[in-house]
């Protein structure tokens, strides 16, 4: 028995010695979402592995939506599992990750370079990733919501790109009446009970000058302003511009509908451009315009800040190597690659004016100010609950299950104990 053990150990040692290279190799595992272009991340990671032969990077692809990914991550991280080294997280999550102590703070790894490194990012992303003075994650790509619209149809019917919601409604009605195509929807925004539906409520709220919480973190969701976003979507729905099934619409569905030529305009994120212009099944190539979201008053447009951040998990066994990888993925070089390969919006201001980037995404030239002024969804460790309350009530309103007053008062009564 002992003898066999010894021989087995010897054998193992010999075979390890034979593959000396493998022994020195570190394997890092990075988690990304199905909708954050894992194919592009794999290309980028290949470049990293070529330059760092001692490191092997595996890309794990999770669910398509932000909350599906987080559900999985919640179980992995709550059990302090060390399989994931780097995780791509939504811009709404750093506060929660910091509170739960799931992210390894990067300050000590950045050392003296911390301030200089952080200063290079678009300000909103610098702020989003620093929680209570600690760097929780580094930005991978930026995002904001824009109005995508069918330039060809707008021109054909003599409609200008809308600056206000009224212009959007009237313009779309005109186009829809003239086109007489029953499959053609006017406008879509997320309406299903998903994360994006939180922005469907918040964008008009912000445009009106409203806010969910004040600077001290108290709920300020009151009065007419809090009710008006419901009225806006209710009006667009009753005028037929918003489709009757809006309550089942998820983010990528809008992109699919638009790409199939069944949708005139949509409030959507940066990734849509690349798919619309490059996907084989897109029937609207070269027919798309991108402008800031319409507002109640021209020029008072608002948008949700989006984008994805790279966090090193607190349970990783290769933190130093993981931080190196993260710093590469959060570099101007990778920002540019992503902009060209996936129309992911850069997190460095100078990349927006890069000629190659502009060639792939002509609309980026006007996009930086929109990203710079994009607003954050409420920052709280209990964001998951906040999000659920807003999206379920918005969804119930869009489905016609709740009136605006009922949805708003349910929202208020459930949010109050969280923001007390």
Partner 1 sequence: MSSTTAEAGARHAATPPARKGRARLSPLERAERRLGLMMLAPAVLLLCAVVVYPIVELVTTSLRFEHLAQPWMGTPFVGLDNFARAMSDEIFWSSTLNTVIYIVVTVPGAVLVGLGLALLANQPFKIKWPVRLGLLLPWALPLVFTGLIFRWFFEFNQGIVNNALMLVGMSPRQWLSDPFLAFVATCIAIVWKSSSFVALVLLAGLQTIPRSLYEAAEIDGAGRWQQFVEITLPMLRPAIVVALIFRTITAIQTFDIPYAMTNGGPGHSTETLAMYIHKTTIDFLDLGYGSALAVLMFAVSVVATSGYLRYTKRDPRKEA
CA distance linking residue 353 with residue 365, whole number of Å: 7
402 binds partner 1 (CB under 8 A): yes
382 binds partner 1 (CB under 8 A): yes
Name which position in 11, 158, 209, 400 contacts partner 1 (CB under 8 A).
400
Residues numbered 244 to 283 that lie near partner 1 (CB under 8 A) are 244-248, 257, 262
Q: 315 or 364, CB closer to partner 1?
A: 315
CA distance linking residue 11 with residue 1, whole number of Å: 15
Shortest distance (Å) from residue 415 CB to partner 1: 14
Shortest distance (Å) from residue 381 CB to partner 1: 4
Residues numbered 168 to 187 that lie near partner 1 (CB under 8 A) are 183
Reduced to 3 states (helix: H, G, I; strand: E, B; else coil), residue 365 is: helix
The count of other CB atoms within 10 Å of the CB of residue 24 is 9
Q: 43 or 213, CB closer to partner 1?
A: 213
Count residues near partner 1 (CB under 8 A): 37
Name which position in 60, 179, 277, 385 contacts partner 1 (CB under 8 A).
385
Shortest distance (Å) from residue 70 CB to partner 1: 8
Specify the DSSP class assigned to residue 292.
Answer: P
CA distance linking residue 288 with residue 318, whole number of Å: 45
Torsional sign, CA 371, 327, 325, 47: positive
Helix (H) or strand (E) holding 201: helix 196-207
Residues numbered 50 to 79 that lie near partner 1 (CB under 8 A) are 67, 70-71, 74-75, 78
Shortest distance (Å) from residue 115 CB to partner 1: 28
Q: 68 or 373, CB closer to partner 1?
A: 68
Shortest distance (Å) from residue 61 CB to partner 1: 18
CA distance linking residue 251 with residue 204, whole number of Å: 18
Name which position in 193, 204, 307, 346 contacts partner 1 (CB under 8 A).
193
Torsional sign, CA 110, 116, 122, 127: positive
Nearest to 312 by CA among 324, 322, 321: 322
């Amino acid at each position: 028995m002992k003898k066999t053990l010894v021989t087995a150990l010897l054998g193992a040692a010999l075979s390890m010695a034979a593959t000396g290279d493998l022994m020195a190799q570190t394997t890092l595992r990075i988690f990304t979402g199905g909708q954050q272009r894992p194919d592009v991340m794999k290309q980028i990671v290949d470049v990293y592995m070529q330059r760092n032969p001692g490191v092997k990077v595996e890309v794990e692809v999770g669910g398509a939506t932000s909350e599906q990914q987080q559900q999985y991550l919640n179980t992995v991280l709550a059990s302090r599992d060390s399989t994931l080294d780097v995780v791509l997280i939504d811009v709404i999550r750093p506060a929660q990750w910091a509170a739960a102590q799931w992210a390894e703070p990067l300050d000590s790894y950045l050392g003296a370079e911390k301030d200089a490194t952080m200063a290079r990012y678009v300000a909103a992303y610098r702020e989003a990733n620093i929680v209570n003075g600690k760097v929780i994650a580094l930005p991978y790509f930026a995002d904001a919501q824009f109005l995508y619209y069918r330039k060809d149809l707008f021109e054909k019917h003599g409609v200008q790109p809308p600056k206000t919601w009224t212009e959007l409604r009237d313009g779309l009605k005109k186009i829809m009446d003239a086109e007489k195509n029953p499959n053609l929807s006017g406008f879509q925004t997320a309406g299903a009970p998903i994360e994006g539906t939180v922005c469907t409520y918040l964008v008009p709220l912000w445009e009106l000058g409203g806010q969910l919480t004040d600077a001290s973190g108290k709920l300020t969701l009151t009065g007419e302003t809090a009710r008006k976003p419901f009225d806006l979507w209710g009006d667009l729905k009753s005028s037929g511009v918003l489709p009757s099934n809006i309550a089942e619409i998820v983010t990528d569905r809008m992109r699919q509908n638009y790409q199939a030529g069944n949708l005139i305009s949509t409030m959507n994120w940066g990734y849509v451009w690349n798919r619309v212009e490059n996907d084989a099944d897109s029937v609207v190539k070269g027919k798309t315009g991108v402008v800031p979201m319409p507002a109640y008053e021209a020029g008072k447009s608002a948008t949700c800040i989006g984008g994805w951040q790279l966090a090193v998990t607190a349970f990783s066994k290769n933190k130093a190597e993981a931080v190196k990888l993260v710093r590469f993925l959060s570099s101007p070089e990778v920002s540019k690659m992503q902009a060209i390969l996936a129309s992911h919006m850069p997190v460095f201001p100078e990349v927006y004016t890069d000629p190659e980037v502009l060639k792939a995404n002509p609309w980026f030239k006007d996009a930086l100010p929109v990203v710079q002024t994009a607003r954050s969804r409420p920052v709280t460790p209990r964001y998951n609950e906040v999000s659920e309350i807003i999206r379920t009530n918005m969804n119930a309103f869009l489905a016609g299950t709740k009136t605006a007053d009922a949805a708003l008062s349910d929202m208020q009564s459930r949010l109050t104990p969280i923001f007390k």
